[in-house]
Structure formats: structure tokens, C-alpha cells
Homo-oligomer: A and B are copies of this chain.
Amino acid sequence: MQVRYKVWLEEGEHVFGDGLFSLLREIDRLGSINRAAQSLHMSYRQAWGRVKKAEERLGIDLLVTRTGGEDGGGAELTKEGRELMEKYNLFRREVDKAIKACYQAYFG
């Protein structure tokens, strides 16, 4: 037996979770939504849509994007986006540790 869980942030509706975190991390690493989507085996459409929805609901921009140009365009994190990711990452690690400890205490 093992414990599993999902955790996310809401602003009325779903706003930020592990999926978006991974996606933003790949965008940061690769410099484009398109390449990040490929790397995570999802469609560009889905990746773009998730970022857009989160930005709407949070009321802040997560990405700065460019279209056209020599490399076709690209995307990178805004300062606010990076800050949110850093906070979420720390939060996430603590949650994981806490839940695993609870599980050990009762079922381990």
C-alpha cells in the first residue's frame, strides 16, 4: 500500500499545480512554449491554453512572448512568474515531506 495525492492552488478555480510548474520550468529551460510542450509530450495548444488560463485567473503575466524574428519567436518567464514558481517549489517539497511522514506514522 502507498499514499498518493494531488495538491494545487485555487483562486475560485484551479490556478497553479504540478503540471503548470513543470511546464513553466521547461519553458524557462528551452525558451519557447512549443519546445517545452514537445519535451513534455503535450500539444502546443494545451500548453499555451494552460498558461493563458492561469494568467487570467491570477491576474498576472507569467510569460513574456515574442512572435517572428530569426528564431521564430519564443517565451520566457516574467519576474512574477519566476517568484511564484520558487515559492510553489518550496511549498511543494514541504507538503511532500509532511504527507509521507503522516503515511509512515499510520500505515508504514
Contacts and interface: CB of A to CB of B under 8 A. Distances in A.
Interface of A: 1-11, 15, 87-88, 90-91, 94-95, 98-99, 101-103, 105-107
A43 to B, nearest CB: 26
A53 to B, nearest CB: 15
Copies, count: 2
B9 A7 contact: no
A9 B103 CA distance: 9
Nearest to A8: B4
A87 B101 CA distance: 14
A107 B95 contact: no
A68 to B, nearest CB: 35
